[in-house]
Amino acid sequence: MSDNEFLRSIEDNFKKAASFLDLDDGLAHKIMITNSTYVVRFGVRLRGSLHTFTGYRSVHSEHFEPVKGGIRFNEHVSQEEVEALASLMTYKCALMEIPFGGSKGGLIINPSDWNETELERITRRFTQELAKRDLIHPSQNVPAPDVGTGEREMAWMADEYKRLNPTDLHAWACVTGKPAGKGGIAGRTEATGRGVQYGLQEFFRHKIDVEKTGLSGNLKGKRIIIQGLGNVGYHAALFLSTEDGALITHVLERGGAIVNENGIDITALRAHIMKNGTVEGFDGFVKSGIEMLEADADILIPAAMELVITEDNAPNIKTPLIIEAANGPISAKGDAIIRDRGIVVIPDLYANAGGVTVSYFEWIKNLTRIRFGRLQRRQSENHFNAIISGVEMMTGKPFPDDLRDRALTGATELDLVRSGLEDTMRQAYIDISAEWNANPEIPDLRTAAMKIAVQRVSSSYSSLGI
């Protein structure tokens, strides 16, 4: 599937949602198209010769600044893919009520072709090129990790930006997803997977939506297929299995799949992959591929790359519920087939927004230069200790030890991040569900979510006189 199709899928979703709004044609077109894309080709002398790399940074919408979006390192990165992901970021931030515009970046590179020292030099040179155009800047454009990048690369980029701007007080806010010791925030690594969990939990609180799938109850015992056990898929699978009692029955990875109808031990599988670089050799291994998306289960979580469900395999999907942990895993044509078959899809612009939500928290932390909870944690402990002492005095009975410990443990940064993420995910789903159920002409959650996002972007532009 081409990157052009990915971009067209997002534009088709936009047009469908915009049809439910009274938008001027000119404004609708302005919202849909990408504002700008910067293409850079830079040289780095490595291994005795000069190597030229091509990178991109797209800005889809500046209705809010800074704009926000990850940077991926992948040999298949293209301008169309980056522009599609930038537009998705605009709608995602608007839906989650995060005051960022949408952006995205990419570098055409296979990270495994280079050692760590070489990757650092390449990353720093890419940062220099972006910084020339303020395409990395704490108040204008804030990258984050994506496919092929992580805390390490973000630390390099932040440090390079700081070298270029030594007097910028907020320099470390130029990127998010940094290591904890370099201005990062607790819970950022798990954020997207945790957001998937919170999204599913909230879905199952809405009985009217659950009934449309033919499922019932909550997540306990639900059979789940995970496609991709990277950072997002791993954390989603881990939390759903250990905290919600769901059964991860299928894990699809490059080189094969793991199948266990009694539930896969996700921690053990992750350790096996980290040690061996493959799922092969783990209990339940089958040498199978993408067709395992069509296995029998309750919930399907595509958590890898875009366009894995298309018109070719959509007719064979058996799960009544899909939650898009990856960006754009279902093509527009595949989505139409899925919808016509009555399968409910929790869309990507909501489902994987946990990452940008916690990135927003990290950005705030960097600007304020104080970790969350530092001012109020002990005050909260003292406050509840006084209440417990009063209860004991009035009743003449000791407060239960387990409840005392819970009440007197003040919130850590991780507790506050998780709380903020859960609140954001829950409220966003409440809005989407209400929109979906209020208008019988809105066909699915994706259209409802996109309608909300487009309406908010439109309102922002209107307030600017555009």
Catalytic residues: 104
Distance CA 149, CA 446 (A): 28
**Pairing state of beta strands 141-145 and 67-74?**
parallel
Q: Which residue has the tokens 């155009």?
A: 133
Angle, CA of 133, 138 and 140, to the nearest 5°: 50
Contact between 297 and 250 (Cβ < 8 Å):
yes
Distance CA 78, CA 92 (A): 21
For residue 461, give the nearest of 19, 14, 28, 88 by alpha carbon: 28
Neighbours of 391 (CB within 10 A): 12
| SS3 state of residue 256 | strand
| SS3 state of residue 423 | helix
Distance CA 218, CA 215 (A): 9
For residue 327, give the nearest of 88, 95, 100 by alpha carbon: 88
| SS3 state of residue 248 | strand
Distance CA 34, CA 213 (A): 35
Give the H or E element holding residue 216: none
| SS3 state of residue 310 | coil
